[in-house]
Structure 1
Amino acid sequence: MLGFINFKFIIAIVATSLTVIGYIPYFRNIFQKKTKPHLYTWLIWGITQGTATVALLHGGGKFGSFSLIIGTILVLFVFLLSFKYGTRDITTSDKLVLALALLAILIWWQLDSPLIAVLMVSAIDAIGYIPTIRKSLKDPWSETLFFWVIMAIVDLLTIIANAKYNLLTVAYLSTLFAANAIVIISIYFSRKKIK
């Protein structure tokens, strides 16, 4: 049992370290005005990832929460940077997704159902990727490919680091992995098409 816990802890530390490493070039590119984060996307992700992190802890994920806690802090920092360095082409659908993210938190509080909340924030988070995917298809050089690849790897490692496997601990992370993979594909193939 001790070896199993140590393995999970080590994987969690690696995932958390990769989270920080992945953000370094992303922040650099933001400050160099190469990467332009979408304001609403990052706000939505801050809300959904924060909610999912609490749900993961509630579901017994333990070490799996390390990278999500640090990631939530970094996501909120990118959101703040979006005011100065990001894009603000906010659509009606962006406002709707934000309202749904806030609704998921309210549902958890009122119905005491973390599962419904985590399933909602998983779906909302996936929808929250749409502005970034749309932007990446239009302007693939406005995103940092390395960041998205690292985040996809972090998602897989975080799933492995979970102490328990259930919908509370896996649904959100699986959604993140799939959405990050779509962003990677969008950036990669759009860049090839432009060359």
Structure 2
Amino acid sequence: MDWSVKLFFSSVAIALTFIAFVPYIRSILAGVTKPHVFSWMIWGTTTFIVFFAQLEAKGGLGAWPMGISGGVTIFIAILAIVKHADLSITTIDWLFFLAALASLPFWYFTSDPLWAVIVLTVVDLLGFGPTMRKAYYFPHNENVVFFALFIARNIFALLALETYSAATMLFPLSVSIGCLLLLVMIAFRRRVVCAR
């Protein structure tokens, strides 16, 4: 595919990142959304490492939405701490975070970014755990538009990739599926809670 088309897809993915994050950040500042700090810390860490792995695997323009997203995600984790959002941190949350950091030695010792991406994808999906748990009990505390925009963002990021491989595609594809499952669960729980 032509480089200018890849640049367009990457630009759309980056724009969708900001379109998703700005209202989400506003809703945090307004006290409407209360993100789980460790989910966001895990997601920020994994997204940044995947960004570097995608660059090494020649993902090119398709990697940049991940890098920008990683930076904003870390900002949301910090904002969650400052706003005293959901600060409940369990032992399993620490295990998820340490597993994210453990991906770096995998990458270093194998010299293959795919192993880091596999570990990070698993950790990132497990990072949905605290948010899923919170959303199950408080389904109205999550912004569904945000997660829907991230599905779209990841689709454009996939289209922008300059090289298609497991190392470049696994993470955005898996995160899209994770977001979709979260949205389905939130919709179901909102119906149940409203029916009571």
> Structure 2 length as normaliser, TM-score?
0.95
Q: 1:43 matched to which residue of 2?
A: 41
Q: 2:20 matched to which residue of 1?
A: 22
Amino acid at match of 1:36: K
Within 5 Å, which residues of 2 pair with 1:1-195?
Answer: 4-85=2-83, 86-195=85-194
Paired with 1:107 and 1:166, the residues of 2 have a C-alpha distance of: 18
Q: Is the 8 A contact 2:59 2:164 kept in 1?
A: yes
Q: Is the 8 A contact 2:54 2:113 kept in 1?
A: no
**What's the % identity of the aligned pairs?**
28
Q: Deviations over 1:13-58 (max 9, x none)?
A: 0110010011111011100111111111111111110110011111
Give the C-alpha shift of residue 92 in structure 1: 1.2
For 2:163, what is the secondary structure of its paired residue?
Answer: coil
Give the C-alpha shift of residue 106 in structure 1: 2.4
Paired with 2:53 and 2:99, the residues of 1 have a C-alpha distance of: 17
For 2:76, what is the secondary structure of its paired residue?
Answer: helix
Once superposed, what is the RMSD of the aligned Cα atoms? 1.1
Gapped runs of 5+ residues in structure 2? none
Amino acid at match of 1:116: W
Query: What is the aligned length?
Result: 193
Give the C-alpha shift of residue 68 in structure 1: 0.9
Give the C-alpha shift of residue 184 in structure 1: 1.1
Paired with 1:190 and 1:99, the residues of 2 have a C-alpha distance of: 30
Amino acid at match of 2:87: R
Q: Is the 8 A contact 1:64 1:159 kept in 2?
A: yes
Give the C-alpha shift of residue 107 in structure 1: 2.2
Paired with 1:163 and 1:113, the residues of 2 have a C-alpha distance of: 18
Paired with 1:39 and 1:70, the residues of 2 have a C-alpha distance of: 19
Paired with 2:131 and 2:59, the residues of 1 have a C-alpha distance of: 28
For 2:31, what is the secondary structure of its paired residue?
Answer: coil
Amino acid at match of 2:72: L
Q: Is the 8 A contact 1:23 1:147 kept in 2?
A: yes
Q: Is the 8 A contact 2:51 2:66 kept in 1?
A: yes
Amino acid at match of 2:31: K
Give the C-alpha shift of residue 5 in structure 1: 1.3
> Structure 1 length as normaliser, TM-score?
0.95
